Amino acid sequence: MNLRSLTQGLSYVGEVPAKRQTYYVFEGKKYFLVMSQSRAKRNAGNFNVVRADAVEYVAQRFERKKKVTSTDVAKASRKPRLVSTSLDALNVLYVLVAKDRAEIDKKFKNERQLYFTVAG
């Protein structure tokens, strides 16, 4: 993966306020970047690369599903090259929320894990 080509022509998709911090989603040609600011260091942050085909795969696989967790997505994935870990799945779900194709289920705000409802 080439960082120069990855960051070329990025457009802002939206932000996702999660439990502990807000994630900012940007879209490129074949990838999304999910970024967050470091809570410990003011001028630092993290980013995760999410393949666009992984987002489409999860959106189709979990269409109209409720109470979806990142663990559910990782376990149900039949394409480990797209989604192989819970962190991969969580970032895909953040992209879907930013694109208004899913939402974080507020009924479970006291739970440790985030629950998502994927749109149809």
User: What's the pLDDT band for 1 if we cut at 50, 70, 90?
Assistant: low
Between the CA of residue 99 and those of 24, 59, 95, what are the distances in Å? 11, 11, 6
Least Cα distance to 89 among 38, 46, 61, 54 occurs for: 54
pTM exceeds 0.85, yes or no: yes
Q: How many whole angstroms separate alpha carbon 35 and alpha carbon 61?
A: 25
* Least confident interval from 4-13, 20-29, 32-41: 4-13
Least Cα distance to 99 among 19, 32, 7, 35 occurs for: 32
Angle at 107 between CA 53 and CA 120, to 5 degrees: 35
The number of domains in the chain is 1
Per-residue pLDDT of 61-80, as tens digits, reads 999 999 999 999 999 999 99
Angle between helices 86-98 and 52-61 (to 10 degrees): 90
Residue 65, classified by CB atoms within 10 Å of its CB into exposed (0-12), middle (13-18) or buried (19+), is middle
- For the cut 80, the answer to whether the pLDDT of residue 120 exceeds it is no
Calculate Rg over the CA atoms of the chain.
14
- For the cut 70, the answer to whether the pLDDT of residue 46 exceeds it is yes
- Its domain, for residue 53, covers 3-118
